Amino acid sequence: MIRTRLLVAVALSLSLAACQSAAPVGSPASVTPSRVEPTAAEMRTDLFAFAADSFRGRETGTPDADRAAAWLARRLATLGLEPGGDSGYFHRVPMRRTMVSADSIVVQTPTGRTSWQLGRDLAVLTALGPGAPLPKLAADAEVVYAGYGVVDASLGRDDYKGLDVKGKVVVIAGLVPPEVEEAKRTAMESPDALFSRLGAAIGRGPAAVVLLLPDSLFGMAAGQFSTSQIELAKGAAAGEAPRVLPMVAVGRLTNGSPLVPRGWPSDASTASAGTRFMASVRVASTSFNGYNVVGIVRGADPALRQTYVAYGAHYDHVGIQQAVNGDSIANGADDDGSGTVTLLAIARAFAEGPKPRRSLLFVWHVGEEKGLFGSEIFAENPTVPLDSIVAQLNADMIGRNSADSLYIVGPGAAPNGQSAVLGTVVDSVNAASTRPFTFDRVWDTTTHPERIYYRSDHFNYAKKGIPIVFFTTGLHPQYHQVSDEAALIDYDKMARIGRLMYQTGVALGNRATRPKPTATQ
């Protein structure tokens, strides 16, 4: 599952500053369990292979992700699925890799001059997301420390009061002021709140903005933005495009940093007199293709087989990370190896078993961790007519946490009630199972601070008006860590989710009408 990434959040803060009726569902008898349904044993075998060190974390833009795609394509061929891509089982996703190198990064203080290293001390954002203006690649100006960058009347706080930041290098600490009460602190710690502060700083006309983060967050940011940045080719700006925004960088927030007042954090002074920040970086871009993997199981009805129940998961992960106890490979067993192999088991069940009236479309997306890239391109350039997809069922991180709890996202969060009827189908199928899940709907909203609705591939289908349901068992301490290993997965639970998704596909596949509100049938 994608993190709330810096460039996406900054782009939103810049560009979005201003941004039911239930149809009858089929009888639960239509989803009577079948002997071909997904099993825990097959998922365990597949996941130990797919989340092995040999795939080196399956990071998009590396040969490791391409090998993972080839592995999936071979499996689909063995299962007998029809190729559904634009190149056999593969669906091309055009991307661009931008390599960043530093001419120099220097902080000059009254007591000396410090040279910084790109990636180790500072990460520079060369783009802020599709559609956003580009930030400059150089800055040379006086430093102004703006505290936490908070302007909040309810707190009686304006960290910019009395500061002249125009044309300066504004430095803000990406923390919450210590005096903020717990009830408000949670909201202020959300990614949206942090990036709203960053966007507000950019809007004040400085020469550069440097956001200082604690080591744990800086490490993530530096890994994403320091030397190699990947974006969709369609959203990547040409080299000649003007860079009109201030330079944007992320640095380490440490005691003794030359970018913060000498007495920080006990000294609330904003003085950074005599400190100058000078940085210049260069970029060079190359284009390449990533690959979604797509397979089809044809339905039995001559008319309805031209429509599809779509299943989705992402097979990429975050690759090689900083070593922990000698382990540097983020295997991504739960994120999203669990969804990947569950879709394989569902595809095998449909290939071997009775066919529903509609066809089944399986898409393993690439580039989810980079910004939902694969699903964005597939939703914009599908290999089947977009209006032939009646629903999309997405699985991302479905192998952990309590045995009977399952998060359901979409029926409430998707706009205009477009997924409400699909939600009643899922509810009906779950209720008819021999061991129903307890659905947790806390994330099924657009306002939850975790923004889960926006953070996996279903979102790009929902934007096109397709009913979606997102199945996930939630976050855990191993999320995006090298410790997300296949040995930690609850395979019995994952198989139950696979059976729920399979049975939902059967119900949708045999349903005479699309799972949309009555007004749009």
Could you tell me the residue ranges of all domains in the chain? Answer: 98-285
Q: Name the average pLDDT for the chain.
A: 89
Q: Is the pLDDT of residue 17 over 50?
A: no
pLDDT at 237: 47
pLDDT at 141 over 70: yes
State both tokens at 168: 């300066």
Q: Measured between alpha carbons, how far is 202 from 246 in angstroms, rounded to an integer?
A: 7
- Answer yes or no: is pLDDT of 512 > 70: yes
Q: What pLDDT digit, counting tens, does each position of 391-435 carry?
A: 999 999 999 999 999 999 999 999 999 999 999 999 999 999 999
The predicted structure's pLDDT at residue 108: 95
Q: What's the pLDDT score for residue 343?
A: 98
- Phi then psi dihedrals of residue 177, to 5 deg: -50, 140
> What secondary structure, in 3-state letters, does 313-351 show?
EECCECCEEEEECCEEECCCHHHHHHHHHHHHHHHHHHH
- pLDDT tier, 28 (very low <50, low <70, confident <90, very high otherwise): very low
pLDDT exceeds 90 at position 98: no
**pLDDT in the model for residue 509:** 98
pLDDT tier, 142 (very low <50, low <70, confident <90, very high otherwise): very high
Closest CA to 234 of 373, 384, 85: 373
Determine the pLDDT at residue 211: 94
Question: Cα 52–58–63 angle (5° rounding)?
Answer: 110
pLDDT in tens, 236-279: 544 457 999 999 999 999 888 899 887 777 665 555 678 999 99
pLDDT mean over 23-52: 74
More confident residue, 23 or 414: 414
Give ∠ CA 21-26-27 in degrees, rounded to 5. Answer: 130
Q: Where are the alpha helices (DSSP H) in 51-166?
A: 63-79
What is the mean predicted confidence (pLDDT) over 174-179? Answer: 90
pLDDT given for residue 210 in this prediction: 96
Kindly report the CATH number that applies to the domain delimited by 98-285.
3.50.30
Residue 316 has pLDDT above 50, yes or no: yes
Q: How many angstroms separate the CA atoms of 235 and 315, rounded?
A: 22
Instruction: Take residue 320 and report the two structure tokens written for it.
Output: 């090689």
pLDDT computed for residue 229 by the predictor: 81
pLDDT at residue 280 tops 80: yes
pLDDT of residue 519: 54
Residue 410 and residue 420: Cα distance in Å, rounded?
A: 8
Q: What pLDDT was estimated at residue 223? A: 60
Which tops the pLDDT comparison, 16 or 442? 442
Q: Can you read off the two tokens belonging to residue 455?
A: 């953070």
Tokens of 412: 């409430």
pLDDT band at 310 (very low <50, low <70, confident <90, very high): very high
Higher pLDDT: 238 or 474? It is: 474
Task: Dump pLDDT digits (tens) for 346-397.
Answer: 999 999 999 999 999 999 999 999 999 999 999 999 999 999 999 999 999 9
pTM of the model: 0.83
What local confidence, expressed as pLDDT, does residue 5 receive? 45
pLDDT at 8: 40
pLDDT at residue 218 in the model:
81
